[in-house]
Structures are given as C-alpha cells and as structure tokens.
Amino acid sequence: MQETILITGGAGFIGSNFVLEWLEQSTGPLVNVDSLTYAGNLRNLEPVAARREYSFVRADICDRARMDQLLQEHQPRAIVHFAAESHVDRSIVGPEAFVETNVRGTFVLLEAARAYWNSLPRENQPKFRFLHVSTDEVYGSLGADDPAFRETTPYAPNSPYSATKAASDHLVRAYFHTYGLPTIITNCSNNYGPYHFPEKLIPLMITHALAGKPLPVYGDGLNVRDWLYVGDHCAALRLVLERGRPGETYNIGGRNERSNRQVVEAICEILDELQPASPHCPHKQLIQFVKDRPGHDRRYAIDATKLERELGWQARETFSTGLRKTVQWYLDHPEWTSDVLSGAYQEWIDRNYKQRSQDGAHSDPDGQQRSHECEG
C-alpha cells in the first residue's frame, strides 16, 4: 500500500478545492478519477496539472473493471469519494442520472474497494479508509424551532438527489458492518467558495448580478441553509481522513444559518460596495421571486459538536468573510465563468427558469417596490 490517496469527482467544485489544498500542503500523492460530466472542469486543476504527485484519470465510477484496475495500479491508502450528481433541481427534472451515479456508482466503487482491501496484506487492512462525502440533506427538513441535525437524526430525504445520497450512505454503512471495510461518512451542509458551478444559489446570484440579469429567488425566499466555506469543509475532510474512526459518521457545518433572501441581499450589498460604478447598482433591484422548487426543504442546520469535540475542528471563515472572498474570486475570474457558461449550461438555465417566470415572477413576494442606493 502506497501513501497515495485516490479521490473521485476531483474536477467538481469541492473536489477541485480539495485537490488544490492537498497538493499545496504537500500531503502526499493524489490520483483524481473523474468522468468529467458538465460539472467537472479540468481548468480548475491547471495549477497542479504538472505536479509529479498528481495524476488525473478520466473514468466513470460505474465502470467496475476500470475501478479494479486503478486500485491495483495505484495501491491507495484511502479513497475519498466526492463523485456524484449534486444539483437538487436537476434531480427533479431527471432523477435517473442520480440513481446511476450516486447509488450504482457508489455501489460499484464499494465493491471495487472491498476486493482491493481484501487483497491487501493483513497488517495494512486496518489502515485503509473509504471516506464517503455526503450531505446534510439526507436528514430532511427542519421546522424553525427544531434542533440542528445530529449524527443520530433519522434519515428523511425529500428530493431524488437526497434520496440517492441517503441510499449511498446506507450502502457505505453496510459495508463497514457486514464486511469490515473501514468506511467513514461525512454529512456536510451547503458549501460555497471558488469554482462553484453557477447553477447553485450563491454563484448563480453573483454571476447574474454581474451581468445585470434577474436574481431568481424561489418561493418566499425564507428557506434556510447552513453555509460553510469550502476550504473549511476540505480541512474537516483531511482531519476525518487522518483521525476519524471507521464506522462513524461526522456532521460538518459552519453554524451559519441564513435565509435565501439574506444570502442574496448580502451578495448584492457586497457587489454594490465593490462595483459602485456598475450600471446594475443597486443590485437588489434585480431580485425576482419566482415559482418555488417542488418539495423544497424549509431549513437545514448542522450540529457539528462531534467533529469539534473529537477531532478539534473549527471553521475558520465566518459567513461574512467567506462570502466576501467568494464574490471577489468571481470578480477576479470572469474567464472561468464565461468558459463554464457553455451552450449546454445555457440550455439548462432556459429550461429551469422559463417555466418559473411563466408562472409570474415579481420583484417582491409582498408586491412592494424595493428602493436601495449603492453605498460608496
């Protein structure tokens, strides 16, 4: 067994951030296995592409023979499994790809990992780790006064996305209990930061606001998410990989609950400040309330006490410092955004938002006009 780790989905949002930080800290060789769906972008990894400790393999996690071959070839000490279909709205429009990658793909990877692990010398088997990167959405939706999700909260997924992630979590758990494969599951809240694909709330609002396009807030905008800067998630994953206990689950979250309205307004305020000469100032005038997401979970909140107490993890970014960094990153990387806004992505935007606007977009759910001046 080598010092190498093998990760899946490393060309996506969180995976890219994980790879860049891993190699920046010279933590050891890393093999990135990604099939490059619309969400995978090798440009994110250009800074490390030539590094000796890094290699990229284009492969689908559903391809069992390929997974077997890669594990035998690289002899990793751990697998960190990010690869997934990750967008809730897409899962509502087309759930099949989610079942394929999130459920069957995770199953195939687990089977390949089990065969590889069985082939290891006995003394190396306890050192191996299968770290499954999952989501808080498996716990379902909270009421306003409910306590935050704990590791013991029963699963109650509500979207095809969260149902397939829940199914994958159950498989990972079963492989520990049944076969002894040293698996660990992490369930994290909403991430944001650099390289976030602009179909998700925060990058979509930033890129739309910069272009003077409407900012489509679903429903009344009072759904709450618990935001975590992506670098804090990656730090937690490194810690769990080194010191987490096999068979355990760790919740990861930043204790940064915000309603979607608060998030969008905060983005607008930062842009007003950083781009005072923009013709789109005040950016809040671009907000439009549109038809809600079906089955829209009302509130997520993570109780990360176990991770904090057992492994000493603490988020470094507050929502305000993390959001400012993120907006600045999009301002500094316009070419990254224009590159990913390809024809295929435009088709998705047209499909997702056309229907919502036909159902009557308006600028405020109470029908009130908004008037804000740019500051600075």
Which residues are the active-site residues?
136-137, 161
Closest CB to ligand NAD among residues 35, 288: 35
Closest CB to ligand DAU among residues 44, 223: 223
Q: Does 200 bind ligand DAU (CB under 6 A)?
A: yes
Give me the least distance between CB of 202 and ligand DAU, in Å please: 7
Closest CB to ligand NAD among residues 82, 289: 82
Closest CB to ligand NAD among residues 133, 266: 133
Which residues, 56 to 85, sit near ligand NAD by CB under 6 A? 60-62, 82-84
Give me the least distance between CB of 227 and ligand DAU, in Å please: 9
For residue 125, give both structure tokens: 């088997």
- The span from the CA of 232 to the CA of 322, in Å, is 10
Q: Which residues of 107-145 are buried (b: 16+ CB within 10 A; e: fewer)?
A: bbbbbbbbebbeeeeeeeeeebbbbbbbbbbbbbbbeee
Quickly list H helices, the chain. 13-24, 64-74, 88-93, 96-98, 106-119, 160-179, 201-211, 230-243, 260-274, 305-311, 319-332, 334-340, 343-358
319-332 vs 201-211: helix axis angle to the nearest 10?
A: 50
Q: Which stretch binds ligand DAU (CB under 6 A): 93-101, 112-120, 217-225, 244-252?
A: 217-225
Kindly list the distances between the CA atom of residue 108 and the CA atoms of 25, 33, 84, 241, 251, in Å, as whole numbers in the listed order. Answer: 31, 14, 13, 21, 25
CB-based contacts of 192, cutoff 8 Å, min separation 6: 200, 202, 203, 227, 228, 229, 230, 322, 323, 326
Q: According to the 3-state scheme, what is the secondary structure of 263-323?
A: HHHHHHHHHHHHCCCCCCCCHHHHEEEECCCCCCCCECCECCHHHHHHHCCCCCCCHHHHH
Which residues, 272 to 331, sit near ligand DAU by CB under 6 A? 293, 300
Indicate the residue whose CB is closest to ligand NAD.
12
Q: Does 221 bind ligand NAD (CB under 6 A)?
A: no
Q: Does 225 bind ligand DAU (CB under 6 A)?
A: yes
The 118-157 contact track toward ligand NAD, x by CB under 6 A, reads: ---------------xxx----------------------
Which residues, 83 to 122, sit near ligand NAD by CB under 6 A? 83-84, 86, 101, 105
The partner in contact with residue 223, picked from ligand NAD, ligand DAU, none with C-beta cut-offs of 5 to 8 angstroms by kind, is ligand DAU
Out of 32, 35, 106, 135, which residue is the one contacting ligand DAU (CB under 6 A)? 135
Out of 158, 183, 191, 249, which residue is the one contacting ligand NAD (CB under 6 A)? 191
Q: Which residues bind ligand DAU (CB under 6 A)?
A: 86-88, 135-137, 189-190, 200-201, 204, 216-218, 223, 225, 260, 293, 300
Q: Which residues bind ligand NAD (CB under 6 A)?
A: 8-9, 11-15, 34-37, 39-40, 60-62, 82-84, 86, 101, 105, 133-135, 165, 188, 190-191, 197
